Amino acid sequence: MEISKNPSHLQKTHVRARKINWSLFVIFLYLSTSAMAQDKTFTLEDLIPGGRSYAKFIPQTLRTTWWGNQLLKIDRDSISKWDGKTAWTPLFTQKQLEQSLQQAGLNKKESKSLTLAVATFPYSDEPKARFTTASLMAEYDWQSGVSHIVRFPAPQSWQDYSPAGRCQAYNEKDNLHIYDTNGPHALSQDGSHDIVYGQEVHRNEFGITKGTFWSPDGQSLCFYRMDQSMVPDYPLVDISTRIATVAPTKYPMAGEASHRVSMGVYHRASGKTIWLQTGNNLDQYYCGITWSPDSRKIFLYNLNRDQNHVKLLQFDANTGTLEKTLYEERHPKYVQPQHGLTFLPWDNDKFIYWSEKDGYDHLYLYSLKEERTLRCLTGNELGIVIDLLGFNTKTKSIIINCTGCSPLQHNLFSVNIEKGTHQLLGNATGVHSGQLSPDGKWVVDTWSSPQVPRQVDLINTHNGKVTTLLKAKDPWKGRQVPNITRGTLKAADGTTDLYYRLIQPTHFDPNKKYPAIIYVYGGPHTRLVDDSWHYMSRGWETYMAQLGYVVFVLDNRGSSERGLEFENVTFRQLGTEEMKDQMQGVAFLKSLPYVDASRLGVHGWSYGGFMTTNLMLTYADDFKVGVAGGPVIDWKYYEVMYGERYMDTPQDNPDGYKNNNLTLRAGDLKGRLLIIFGYNDPVCVPQHTLSFIRACENAGTHPDLLTYPGDGHNMMGRDRVHLYEHITRYFEDHLK
C-alpha cells in the first residue's frame, strides 16, 4: 500500500485515530465503572436498623401531617404547607423555633430537644405547634414567634392532650394527673407497683395502646385502673448496679391469677371521679372504650376470660350506670375485639363497629335508636378491612384500607354509606397506607410495590384525582441485588394457598448447589410476605443472599390477613399445623435443583423463635442449623391474654400444652441450635430459654446460647447490628 506523504493527511489520520482510541477508552471506562457499581456489595451496617449507613439505603419518604384541612410537610429543618397545586410554602424553621423557645426561658440544650419531628398541630384554626418531652410542654405560635412553656414537677411516662379542653392527662409514678389552666391536679393517690392508673392494661392485647380517653368536649376523662396485686412479680434482674438488683415486672402466666381492671371517669366541673358499674371485674377484659359524640355515654367491649363471648356495653358517663347491652358475639374458639366504635359525623345515632363474625374483618353499621345492626358496609369483595381512616362528610362515605385488590395488598377505597358502592382510590397495586384530612376530602397515600421503592400521592377522595408528591429513587441502585420472587404453594391440607418469598444468591449459578435458610414467624397477627417493595424482604435476607445462601419465607396457616378460619386452625395446638405447612416449604426447597438439601437452616424471632426450635426438634433430620431468638419454649410460661386465647388454660388443655412443651423434647436436638434472648425480656421471659437449656443439659444435647443484658424482647440500635453479625457468623460457621 502506498503511504501518503501529505502531512495534513497524516495529521488528520492521527487525530482520527486518537479520537477513536479516546472513544474506546471512554466506553471501556464507562462499562468498567458500571460493572463495578453494579458489583458493590452491602454491609450489615447498610441493611440493619441501627447500622451507621442504614439511612442511606431505605427509600426516601415524605413526612406529612394535617393542620385542620391544610397539609403540612415536616422536614428536619423546616415545616411547610402545601399550596394546593405544585409547591410547598415554608411556615417556620427549626432555628426559628429554638430562638423562640430560648426567649421563653429554655436553655439551648432543652430547645434543641424539641425537634420538628415531634410537632403536633392540635388547633385547626390557630397557628400553633405543640411540643412535649417528659419534663416540659411548649406551644409555639409561628405567626407571632412567641412560645409558651410549661414545666412539670416530675418526669412523665406519657401524655394525652385534649385540644377541645386545653387539658393534658399524664402519668407520674403510677398515679394519674391532669394539667389545665389552673395547673396540675392529682386524680389518684394510691398508685404503686401493684395499683396503676391511666396506663395500658391487659398487656396491650385487644388493640389497647393507651390508658386514658378524653371526652369529645374535653371536660371528662375516662381512664383505666389496674389492680395487679394478685399477680406475682417476675424477677427480672438489673445488672447495671454495683450489686445486681431485682427489677420485677408483673407477669400473669396462662392459667394463673390475672389482674383486675376497672374504669373511672373524672369530671372536671365537679372535680369528682365516678366508676363504671361493670361488676366485680374478676377475669374480665375491657377494651374499645369510646365516647358518644355528645360526651354523655361511654361504650366498651367486655370480653370473658375464655375469650369466646364478647358484649358491647353502654354506660351513663355521669353516673357510671350500665344502661344496656347493645350487642353480643360468641365463637366456639375465640373472638378478638381490636377496635373501638366510630360514630357517623352526620348522625350521632349511628356508629360503625368491627367484627369477624362472617369470617373476615368487616365493618357493620349499628343504630342506637333501633338497637340493632343495620347492615354490613364492607362485603367480601373488599376482602379484609385493615384500617378505617375516617369519613368524607360531603359524600357521606367511609375511607378504608383493605385487601380488596389482593390478599397480598393493602389498597384505599371510598365506600358510600347509603348506596353501598365503593371506589378504588389510587392504583390497584402494592401496599398502601393513608392519612386522611379531617373533612375527608383528601388522603395522603404512601405506598410501594415490588418494583416501586416508595411513592406518596395526594388523592381527592371524591373524584379520585391523584397528585404525586414524592417518587423515591431506588436506594439500592448500583448494588448487588439478588433475584427476589414470590410464589404460591399448597398448605398441608392440600387445598389452601400459601404465599412465599424466595431469594436466590447474587451471581446465581443454576448449576451450583447452595445452602438454604428459612426465615419464619408463623404466628397470629403477623405476615411476612406481601406485594410491597421487594415483596417485604428484610435487609438481612439480601445480605445472606450476597453470601451465597438461598433464603425462603412462607406464611403458613395461623398467620394474619387471610381470615378467621385460616388463623384459628391452630387453636389449642400452637405449632402443630404451622410446622406442617413449613415442611411443605421444605419439600419445595428440596425440589429445586440448586438447593443443597443437606444444608438447610432456619431462623426466627419470638413466635418465630418457638417455630425455629420446634422445627429443629421435630424434624431434626431436615435441619442442620437453627437460630432461635426470644423463643416461647413452654406456653404455660406465656402471658394470660395471648396464651389463653389460642391455647385455653393448661388446666383445660393439658395435652395441647404438653405436645408443644419443647423442654420435653430437648433430647431430640441433633443439629446446631443457637438461642438468643434479651436478659430483661418482659414478653418471652428468660424462663423459657433457661428451662430449655437446663433440659438440654439433662438430656445430653448441646445448644449454644447468647444473651443481651439490659435488652428486652428485641435488640435495638447498635445491639441489633451486633445481633445480626452474630447470627450471620453462626450460619457461616455451621451451615456453609
Task: Return the CA Rg of the chain.
Answer: 29
Q: Is 606 a catalytic residue?
A: yes
Amino acid identity for residue 224 in this structure: Y
* The three cell numbers locating residue 295: 360526651
pLDDT, average across residues 314-318: 98
Interatomic CA distance for residues 525 and 95, integer angstroms: 43
Q: Is 393 helix (H, G, I), strand (E, B) or coil?
A: coil
Q: What is the pLDDT of residue 646?
A: 98
Q: Is 681 a catalytic residue?
A: yes
Q: Is 34 a catalytic residue?
A: no
Q: What is the pLDDT of residue 236?
A: 97
Tell whether 136 and 238 lie within a shared domain.
Answer: no
Task: Fill in the DSSP letter of residue 479.
Answer: B
Of all residues in the chain, the percent with pLDDT exceeding 90 is 92
Cβ burial 24-47 (10 Å sphere, 16+ → b, else e): eeeeeeeeeeeeeeeeeebebebb
pTM for this entry:
0.93
Interatomic CA distance for residues 363 and 345, integer angstroms: 16
Interatomic CA distance for residues 417 and 347, integer angstroms: 12
Cα 479 → chain centroid? 28
- Nearest 5 degrees, angle CA 566-CA 570-CA 576? 125
Tell whether 75 and 209 lie within a shared domain.
Answer: no
Q: Among all chains, which residue has been given the C-alpha cell 386465647?
A: 645
Q: By the 8 A CB rule, do 193 and 632 touch?
A: no
Q: Which long-range contacts (CB under 8 A, 24 or more apart) does 642-647 make?
A: 642/203, 642/205, 643/253, 643/254, 644/254, 644/255, 644/305, 644/306, 644/307, 645/205, 645/307, 645/334, 645/336, 646/334, 646/524, 646/570, 646/571, 646/572, 646/574, 647/254, 647/571, 647/572, 647/573, 647/574
Task: Fill in the DSSP letter of residue 188.
Answer: -
Report residue 612: phi and psi, to 5°: -60, -50
Comparing CA positions, the residue from 519, 397, 518, 549 lying closest to residue 460 is 397
At residue 31 the predicted structure's pLDDT band, cuts being 50, 70 and 90, is very low
Interatomic CA distance for residues 693 and 154, integer angstroms: 43
Whether the per-residue pLDDT at 5 is higher than 80: the answer is no
What are the Cα distances from residue 2, in Å, to 5, 6, 24, 346?
Answer: 9, 12, 28, 97
Q: Among all chains, which residue has been given the C-alpha cell 360468641?
A: 330
Burial class (CB in 10 A: 0-12, 13-18, 19+), 354: buried
Burial class (CB in 10 A: 0-12, 13-18, 19+), 553: buried
What are the Cα distances from residue 682, in Å, to 26, 613, 641?
Answer: 60, 20, 14
Active-site choice (414, 681, 688, 734): 681
Task: Fill in the DSSP letter of residue 99.
Answer: H
- Tell me which of 340, 364, 379 is where a domain ends: 340
Classify strands 452-460 and 309-316 as parallel, antiparallel or unpaired: unpaired
Whether the per-residue pLDDT at 23 is higher than 80: the answer is no
Residue 504, domain CATH = 3.40.50.1820
Q: Is 457 helix (H, G, I), strand (E, B) or coil?
A: strand
Tell whether 498 and 553 lie within a shared domain.
Answer: yes
**Residues 6 or more apart whose Cβ sits within 8 Å of residue 127:** 91, 141, 142, 143
Q: What is the pLDDT of residue 19?
A: 46
Q: What is the pLDDT of residue 549?
A: 98
Q: Which helix (H) or strand (E) holds 692?
A: helix 687-699
Whether the per-residue pLDDT at 192 is higher than 70: the answer is yes
- Tell me which of 293, 312, 340 is where a domain ends: 340
User: What are the residues facing 147 on neighbouring strands?
Assistant: 140
Within 13 Å and on the Cβ side, how many CA atoms surround 460?
Answer: 9
Instruction: Please state the length of the chain.
Output: 736
Q: Which helix (H) or strand (E) holds 625?
A: strand 625-629
Residue 26 lies in a domain: no
Tell whether 570 and 620 lie within a shared domain.
Answer: yes
Tell whether 147 and 196 lie within a shared domain.
Answer: no
Question: What dihedral do alpha carbons 183, 189, 193, 194 form, nearest 10°?
Answer: -140
pLDDT, average across residues 420-429: 96
Active-site choice (185, 713, 719, 722): 713
Whether the per-residue pLDDT at 153 is higher than 90: the answer is no
- Nearest 5 degrees, angle CA 106-CA 71-CA 127? 40
pLDDT, average across residues 495-507: 98
Q: What is the pLDDT of residue 28?
A: 44
Tell whether 622 and 696 lie within a shared domain.
Answer: yes
Within 13 Å and on the Cβ side, how many CA atoms surround 223?
Answer: 26
Q: What is the pLDDT of residue 338?
A: 97
What are the Cα distances from residue 166, in Å, to 139, 188, 451, 458, 653?
Answer: 12, 21, 46, 31, 51
Active-site choice (258, 449, 606, 734): 606
Q: Among all chains, which residue has been given the C-alpha cell 391455647?
A: 647
Residue 460 lies in a domain: no
Q: What is the pLDDT of residue 528?
A: 98
Interatomic CA distance for residues 229 and 196, integer angstroms: 10
* The three cell numbers locating residue 535: 415483596
Question: What would the pLDDT profile of 85-118 be if each residue is shown by its tens digit?
Answer: 889 999 999 999 999 999 999 999 999 999 999 9
Domain, as residue range, for 182: 176-340
Residue 345 lies in a domain: no
Q: By the 8 A CB rule, do 358 and 341 touch?
A: no
Interatomic CA distance for residues 210 and 194, integer angstroms: 18
What are the Cα distances from residue 533, in Å, to 417, 449, 502?
Answer: 33, 5, 14
Burial class (CB in 10 A: 0-12, 13-18, 19+), 344: middle
Tell whether 84 and 215 lie within a shared domain.
Answer: no
Question: What would the pLDDT profile of 162-183 be if each residue is shown by its tens digit?
Answer: 999 999 999 998 999 999 988 8
Residue 277 lies in a domain: yes
Interatomic CA distance for residues 630 and 80, integer angstroms: 43
* The three cell numbers locating residue 83: 399550596
**Residues 6 or more apart whose Cβ sits within 8 Å of residue 418:** 396
pLDDT, average across residues 535-541: 98
Terminal-to-terminal C-alpha distance of the chain: 63
Q: What is the pLDDT of residue 168?
A: 95
Tell whether 580 and 715 lie within a shared domain.
Answer: yes
Strand spans (E) along 630-711 = 672-678, 704-708
- Nearest 5 degrees, angle CA 513-CA 515-CA 517? 145
Q: By the 8 A CB rule, do 147 and 104 touch?
A: yes
At residue 21 the predicted structure's pLDDT band, cuts being 50, 70 and 90, is low
Tell whether 683 and 534 lie within a shared domain.
Answer: yes
Task: Fill in the DSSP letter of residue 135.
Answer: S
Q: What is the pLDDT of residue 513?
A: 98
Task: Fill in the DSSP letter of residue 41.
Answer: P
The more confident residue out of 13 and 175 is 175
Question: What would the pLDDT profile of 426-455 be if each residue is shown by its tens digit?
Answer: 999 999 999 999 999 999 999 999 999 999
Residue 360 lies in a domain: no
Tell whether 103 and 230 lie within a shared domain.
Answer: no
| pLDDT averaged over every residue in the chain | 94
Task: Fill in the DSSP letter of residue 410.
Answer: B
Tell whether 632 and 549 lie within a shared domain.
Answer: yes
- Tell me which of 290, 320, 340 is where a domain ends: 340
Interatomic CA distance for residues 276 and 261, integer angstroms: 11
Question: What would the pLDDT profile of 194-237 be if each residue is shown by its tens digit?
Answer: 999 999 999 999 999 999 999 999 999 999 999 999 999 999 99
At residue 36 the predicted structure's pLDDT band, cuts being 50, 70 and 90, is very low
User: What are the residues facing 235 on neighbouring strands?
Assistant: none
Tell whether 625 and 669 lie within a shared domain.
Answer: yes
How many structural domains compose the chain? Answer: 3
Residue 711 lies in a domain: yes
Residue 282 lies in a domain: yes
Residue 216 lies in a domain: yes
Amino acid identity for residue 489 in this structure: L
Question: What would the pLDDT profile of 597-645 be if each residue is shown by its tens digit?
Answer: 999 999 999 999 999 999 999 999 999 999 999 999 999 999 999 999 9
Residue 255, domain CATH = 2.140.10.30
Whether the per-residue pLDDT at 152 is higher than 50: the answer is yes
Q: What is the pLDDT of residue 156?
A: 85
**Dihedral over Cα of 597, 598, 601, 602: its sign:** positive
SS3 breakdown of the chain: % helix, strand, coil, rounded to 5?
20, 35, 45
